[in-house]
Amino acid sequence: MFRHTKFRLPFWSPLLPVAAVLGYAMLAHGCANTTTPPSGGPKDTIPPVLRKVEPLPGTVGVPTRKPRLEFTFDEYVKVKDPKSIFLSPPLEKAPRFRMRGKTLVVYFESDLDSLTTYSLDLTGAVVDNNEGNPFPGYTLVFSTGDQIDSMMVTGIIQDCQTLKPVKGATVMLYKDQADSALFLHRPNAAAKTDDWGYFSIRNIQDTVYRVYAILDANSNNLYETDNERIAFLDTLFRPTMVVRDSLPELMKYDMKDTAACLARRTELEMNMFREKPSKQLIVKKERVGWRTAYITFMAPNAEVDSIWIRGIRPDRLITQFNPQRDSLEIWVNDPRRMPDTLKMFVKYKKTDTLGVLQPTVEEVKLVIDKKLKAEAKTPRRNLKHEDTLCVLKPEVSPETVEQYGFTVEFQYPLVADGFDSLVFRSVNPRQKETIGRYRVTRDSLNLRRYTIMPEEKLQEGYEYFLKFPHRKFQDINGFWNDSTEVKVSLPKDENLSTLILHVSGAGGHRYLVDLLNEKRDKVLRSFQIRSDQTLTFPYVKAGKYSIRVTEDLNGNGIVDTGNLLERRQPEKVRFFKIDDASVIDIPQRTEWEQDLDLVELFK
């Protein structure tokens, strides 16, 4: 235990009784460490109250050798989340703790650095023993030197694609300006983001820093590229804000208090992304059918020279990469019975022990699943009709048929197709039937998926049918399709609305304009543009939506990730806002028009 007489307090903080030092901290929103209990009822809803801290806040001259920090509460408490006991700057091992009556004792397995200002944050760590009422939080600042650093920085961390806040990210400041510092040693200061992706790093030196944020999977405060996400600031940063405990940015808030949380000042804004892994190798394999398998690579853009399977002619293999080129599907176009194990050989560029890509031939054994093997032994008289079909899945949506048409995806690649035999017909309100024309396009990213687009303008009140006739499509298993027909009509709901965007400022650059649901986890409609134009989103139900715009520099239709060592940020994403709100509320029966200036949006 510390004895107060052994420490020197800075000139601005005279030695006072602990109750007096903490009295200001007990006022609601009075300072950064607020613990005022609300009035209670029959059930205990009062959070624990901090009564004593040792050493006192602002103490200097704290010994570096295995010090102990003590926090005494007005009731018995427990540590609910040990990871929320966070020390800045962090040590090699996280702080340890034990309970002694109503006192939480925090200690360290290694010595502290000399001449260093430390802050220990308890936000989210402590609850009371009985009801689990959370302690709002407290940050104890002390120094092993003769002064307390007085600067601070605030900001938010958000996902690069959705711009949603990232909770629990570790924001780190480095005086070492080399990016290699992030891999080699721990930061000079750090903090965790809250539910709003917000952080404040307090009591830091007045100097120049590199700023990073990671989702620290193993809590070692070092960046590991293969399994952690990262954000970084493009430029060097020097703090300008001075610590004052009355600052709203240092208070402890209820995360449900939206107004208070959003009112906090934000200096930095960084977008978090996952880098492409630095190593290339095959990390997964699976045989998902007698003639179907896939392999997954650790890094995207795998460089595959050739693939062959023992006993199978090379021209009998069909392969397809996903858009990121980190997953490869393989099909065997051979009607013969396949063995239980296929021995496949992949010649590709693999990362060697020195981190260099080298041509390598790797054998991959593809073993059939036990369930599939058992099904193969089923007598043919017990086979169901669908077990011997070329399976196809046509889809069409009334709201998007005008933009996307009909789509069909086959379970296996085709060896014979009959798209010229499709029947597209329309029936008008008087039940007159007309045969229409269409065009077929195979998906450039999925060789089993096709789009069938009507050539005529679709009309309200008409019914449209697309028929796939019997035995016109054959897959690699030798199976033919069954007859299938899908039907669609344009929506008749008078309560639907239309969203119209007048887009300007494209300047020949490529952009993706997406209409997302309120949660931003589903794309409802999408346009790729490179010129000023009017985009129409018909048949929109009343509700809340988001409009996302991505600066698609390479035109590949996805948000490309960044790279730390190349100092390249992920492709820019912005959300269209009205009165600073990125969620738009579209009423029913409305033609909702808005101007979207891309120059203004991305400035």
Over the stretch 43-58, which tens digit does the pLDDT of each residue have?
A: 778 999 999 999 999 9
Give the model's pLDDT for residue 324.
Answer: 87
Do 389 and 482 touch, CB atoms closer than 8 A? yes
Is the pLDDT reported for residue 478 higher than 60?
Answer: yes
Q: How deeply is 599 buried, as exposed, middle or buried, from its count of CB atoms within 10 A (0-12, 13-18, 19+)?
A: exposed
The two tokens of residue 165 are 């806040």
Is the pLDDT reported for residue 36 higher than 90?
Answer: no
Do 134 and 125 touch, CB atoms closer than 8 A? no
Do 141 and 202 touch, CB atoms closer than 8 A? yes
Instruction: Summarize the confidence of residues 514-540 as an average pLDDT.
Output: 94
Instruction: Report the percent of the chain where pLDDT is more than 90.
Output: 80
Over the stretch 339-393, which tens digit does the pLDDT of each residue have?
A: 999 999 999 999 999 889 999 999 999 999 888 777 766 665 566 666 789 999 9
Give the model's pLDDT for residue 57.
Answer: 96
Is the pLDDT reported for residue 301 higher than 80?
Answer: yes
3-state secondary structure of 526: strand
Higher pLDDT, 77 or 379: 77
Closest CA to 23 of 61, 57, 47: 57
Give the model's pLDDT for residue 34.
Answer: 44
Is the pLDDT reported for residue 18 higher than 80?
Answer: no
Confidence band, pLDDT 50/70/90 cuts, at residue 21: very low
Give the model's pLDDT for residue 156.
Answer: 98
Distance between CA atoms of residues 82 and 125, nearest Å:
6
Over the stretch 394-443, which tens digit does the pLDDT of each residue have?
A: 999 999 999 999 999 999 999 999 999 999 999 999 999 999 999 999 99
Give the model's pLDDT for residue 374.
Answer: 77
The lowest-confidence range among 21-35, 115-129, 285-299, 493-507 is 21-35
Tokens 């925090």 identify what position?
Answer: 106
Distance between CA atoms of residues 593 and 579, nearest Å:
15
Distance between CA atoms of residues 292 and 286, nearest Å:
9
Q: How deeply is 272 buried, as exposed, middle or buried, from its count of CB atoms within 10 A (0-12, 13-18, 19+)?
A: buried
Give the model's pLDDT for residue 379.
Answer: 62
Give the model's pLDDT for residue 270.
Answer: 97
Instruction: Summarize the confidence of residues 334-338 as an average pLDDT.
Output: 89
Give the model's pLDDT for residue 39.
Answer: 53
Distance between CA atoms of residues 150 and 189, nearest Å:
13
Give the model's pLDDT for residue 385.
Answer: 63
Closest CA to 555 of 524, 574, 522, 530: 530
User: Across the strands, what pairs with 427?
Assistant: 433, 463
Over the stretch 95-116, which tens digit does the pLDDT of each residue have?
A: 999 999 999 999 999 999 999 9
Confidence band, pLDDT 50/70/90 cuts, at residue 15: very low
Instruction: Summarize the confidence of residues 466-488 as an average pLDDT.
Output: 96
Cis peptide before 398 (omega within 30 of 0): no
**Helix (H) and strand (E) counts in the chain:** 6, 42
Is the pLDDT reported for residue 237 higher than 70?
Answer: yes
Instruction: Summarize the confidence of residues 321-350 as an average pLDDT.
Output: 94
Mean pLDDT of the chain: 90
Give the model's pLDDT for residue 226.
Answer: 76
The lowest-confidence range among 219-228, 293-302, 382-391 is 382-391
Longest dimension (CA), the chain: 99
Pairing of strands 357-367, 392-395: unpaired
Confidence band, pLDDT 50/70/90 cuts, at residue 557: confident
Is the pLDDT reported for residue 13 higher than 70?
Answer: no
Instruction: Summarize the confidence of residues 71-76 as an average pLDDT.
Output: 97
Global pTM value: 0.77
Confidence band, pLDDT 50/70/90 cuts, at residue 41: low
Instruction: Report the percent of the chain where pLDDT is more than 70.
Output: 91
Ordered domains of the chain (ranges, CATH): 1-148 (2.60.40.1220), 151-274 (2.60.40.1120), 282-376 (2.60.40.1220), 386-489 (2.60.40.1220), 497-602 (2.60.40.1120)
Half-sphere exposure of 240 (CA within 13 A, CB side): 5
Give the model's pLDDT for residue 3.
Answer: 38
Sequence-ordered strand ranges (E) for 5-85: 50-54, 68-73, 77-79
